[in-house]
């Protein structure tokens, strides 16, 4: 049976030889919202909003490069025969973990030179990162990528999602939607509770992100059919476990150290 539905055109706008893709619009929109959220929160941590702008001007291109390099390195066989495709990020192929690693490294270096506490900076960034990831996954939707195994029906979804998930003569598990929803829930939790919970310490919001995103990504990655592999291991699942462990350790160390110093006084 042939394709039943016409897929949404991944090109949102074409101006002569220039194309603007939905994929790029989703990423850029997510970054704009993330920057706005961080600038609103920065004064609470005694960080200048202008520092957020200075940071993103450096971190955004570095993160895009990191996301692409990560993807290409773990799928190099697909690019060996056609190296020009390495630069074709408009075709998809940005690995969020590569972007996060590059962005985090940039944040620590930037914090050092600006004399900003990096954990405070991370806490400020978390809500924006979550909402940017939630929006960015819709770029995968428009590109018809980051999906799971074939399923019989997607009748529980709106028609425009259901139709777009009809790929290679089958409905596909919309893992992009699961991850986007998981990140959105995490964003709502952080925004609802970060100023209400007593006893939160610098770095606790960052630790929540590591655990929350790590758990969600581990589960959802197991549903995907396009995972980057290192032998029999799904790379993103392995890194997800590292994130969860790091988040738990950060909370334990953060609160144990605080109790230790209080007892010493």
Known binding-site positions: 137
> What is the token pair recorded at 231?
């032998």
Cα four-point dihedral sign 235, 214, 94, 126: negative
> What is the token pair recorded at 262?
């209080």
SS (H, E, C) the chain: CCCCCCCCCCEEEEECCEEEEHHHHHHHHHHHHHHHHHHHHHHHHCCCHHHHHHHHHHHHHHHHHHHHHHHHHHCCHHHHCCHHHHHCHHHCCCCHHHHHHHHHHHHHHHHHHHCCCHHHHHHHHHHHHHHHHHHHHHHHHHHCCCCECEECCCCCCCHHHHHHCEECCEEECCHHHHHHHHHHHHHHHHHHHCCCCCCCCCCHHHHHHHHHHHHHHHHHHCCECCCCEECCEEHHHHHHHHHHHHHHHHHHHHHHHHHHHHHHC
Whether 179 and 98 have beta carbons less than 8 Å apart is answered as no
């Amino acid at each position: 049976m042939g394709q039943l539905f016409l897929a949404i055109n991944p090109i949102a706008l074409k101006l002569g030889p220039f194309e603007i893709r939905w994929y790029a619009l989703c990423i850029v929109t997510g970054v704009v919202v993330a920057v706005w959220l961080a600038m609103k929160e920065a004064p609470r941590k005694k960080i200048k909003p202008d520092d957020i702008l200075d940071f993103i001007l450096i971190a955004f291109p570095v993160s895009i490069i990191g996301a692409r390099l990560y993807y290409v390195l773990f799928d190099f066989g697909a690019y060996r025969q056609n190296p020009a495709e390495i630069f074709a990020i408009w075709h998809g192929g940005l690995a969020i973990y590569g972007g996060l690693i590059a962005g985090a490294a940039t944040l620590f270096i930037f914090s050092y030179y600006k004399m900003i506490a990096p954990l405070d900076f991370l806490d400020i960034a978390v809500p924006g990162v979550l909402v940017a990831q939630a929006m960015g996954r819709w770029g995968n939707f428009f590109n018809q990528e980051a999906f799971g195994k074939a399923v019989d029906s997607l009748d529980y979804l709106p028609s425009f999602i259901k139709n777009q998930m009809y790929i290679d003569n089958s409905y596909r598990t919309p893992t992009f939607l699961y991850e986007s929803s998981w990140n959105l829930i995490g964003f709502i939790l952080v925004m609802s509770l970060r100023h209400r919970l007593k006893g939160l310490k610098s770095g606790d919001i960052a630790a929540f992100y590591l655990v929350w995103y790590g758990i969600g990504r581990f589960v959802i990655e197991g549903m995907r059919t396009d995972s980057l592999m290192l032998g029999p291991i799904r790379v993103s699942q392995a890194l997800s476990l590292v994130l969860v462990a790091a988040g738990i350790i950060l909370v334990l160390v953060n609160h144990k150290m605080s109790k230790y110093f209080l007892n010493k006084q």
